[in-house]
Copies of this chain bind each other. A is one copy, B any other.
Amino acid sequence: MLKVAIVGASGYTGLELIRILHCHPEVAVTCLTSEQSAGKSISDIFPTLRGRCDLLLENLEPVRIAEKADLVFTALPHKAAMEVVPTFLKLGKKVVDLSADYRLSDPAVYGEWYEPHMNPAYLKKAVYGLPEIRRSKIKGAKLVANPGCYPTSIILGLAPLLKKGLIRTQSIIADSASGVTGAGRSAKVDSLYCEVNEGYKAYGVGGIHRHTPEIEQELSLLAGVSLKVTFTPHLVPMDRGILSTIYAAPLNELTTAKLINLYEEFYEGEPFVRVLPHGRLPSTSFVRGSNFCDIAPMIDTRTGRIIVVSAIDNLVKGASGQAVQNMNLICGFPETTGLDALALFP
């Protein structure tokens, strides 16, 4: 049994890791931390766990935690993660980091969008954990930077087009929408039920959302040239899910049938990507609670644009499910272990 610690267990991605790992036959969760709720049982914070996982939450003392675990999931805000990740690595632990701290390979870019990086040397050691495009590197990694939720949906939606060089690289517009778990679990007026419910809005418009450089980094790598995107996030009154509607200009004429064919080939054998048949469109409700990414590429024949719609559960394929998928790869478990559950619908 692999012993696993979850650092930052009282947030939604922490809970989701516990939920998923509860059904993972090769893993035992041995340690949970929470600065705010240390000393309490995790099942007092999240009553869903009562009787199944009643571990006490501990303070974040890396050395003591490392004694109990072989692998550590860090589900912390940015900055908090890079304060502890190096210690875990030095103590020989493997780390899957769900924060943004090791996703950007260039410390200057990190500095521009966040703040000066505390341990830039580690950026080179980190592997960006999107298995569908980086599987072999992840297998040997000690530190996996688990991708952001919006980037996951957008990169998977565009990878086949960029890899094959089929679109104008400066033409990309990604219009995305997220459920409210994306805003985390801290007490803010903006996240109150009555502020969010029955409303739909854009936020971070104009290229200012912090997922922008992550999206551009990975899309540029896929394209082989540096590119910029227009990325607009929206907030949807629902708990879970991200849907991205992505627009791009093709270099040559294409049909929807050809596009679907291309995507099916690109993602052949992928256990968690479903390319939808012609006429079917994704919905976040069809992936809720599962690790799937559903994708529908098509041509707007009137304007010639390519439109790709992709959907994930932001807490699963967009966070904790993908983190477990990465753990499976690192540890040599079958990649889908613990991730078999179908979406909960309705």
Contacts and interface: CB of A to CB of B under 8 A. Distances in A.
Nearest to A48: B343
A334 interface: no
Nearest to A280: B47
A286 B48 contact: yes
A102 interface: no
Nearest to A340: B23
B303 A207 contact: yes
Given A193-B180, A193-B192, A201 B346 contact: no
Given A19-B342, A301-B206, A303-B229, A290 B48 contact: yes
Nearest to A213: B302
Interface stretch (A65-73, A79-87, A240-248): A240-248
Nearest to A305: B230
Query: Oligomeric state, in number of copies?
Result: 4
Q: Dominant SS at the A interface? A: loop
A212 B301 CA distance: 13
Contacts of A299: 206
A114 interface: no
A303 B172 CA distance: 10
A236 B196 CA distance: 13
Nearest to A201: B283
Contacts of A237: 193, 197, 236-238
A225 interface: no
A275 B24 CA distance: 26
A206 B307 contact: yes
Contacts of A251: none
A205 B345 contact: no
B284 A346 contact: no
Given A307-B230, A341-B341, A346 B51 contact: no
Contact of A177 (B197, B200, B212, B285): B200
A256 B205 CA distance: 12
Given A202-B245, A230-B300, 18 more contacts: A48-B290, A48-B342, A50-B294, A180-B193, A180-B346, A185-B194, A187-B187, A192-B192, A193-B195, A197-B237, A198-B346, A200-B241, A201-B311, A230-B303, A232-B307, A234-B243, A237-B238, A240-B346
A332 interface: no
A308 to B, nearest CB: 10
Contacts of A241: 198-200
A141 interface: no
Contacts of A341: 22-23, 341
Contact of A200 (B205, B230, B236): B236
Contacts of A203: 281
Interface in A229-267: 229-230, 232, 234, 236-241, 243, 245, 247, 256
A328 interface: no
A188 B303 CA distance: 32
A285 B280 CA distance: 30
Interface centre among A180, A202, A256 (most CB of B within 10 A): A202
A40 B157 CA distance: 28
B185 A189 contact: yes
Contacts of A274: 50-51
A180 to B, nearest CB: 4
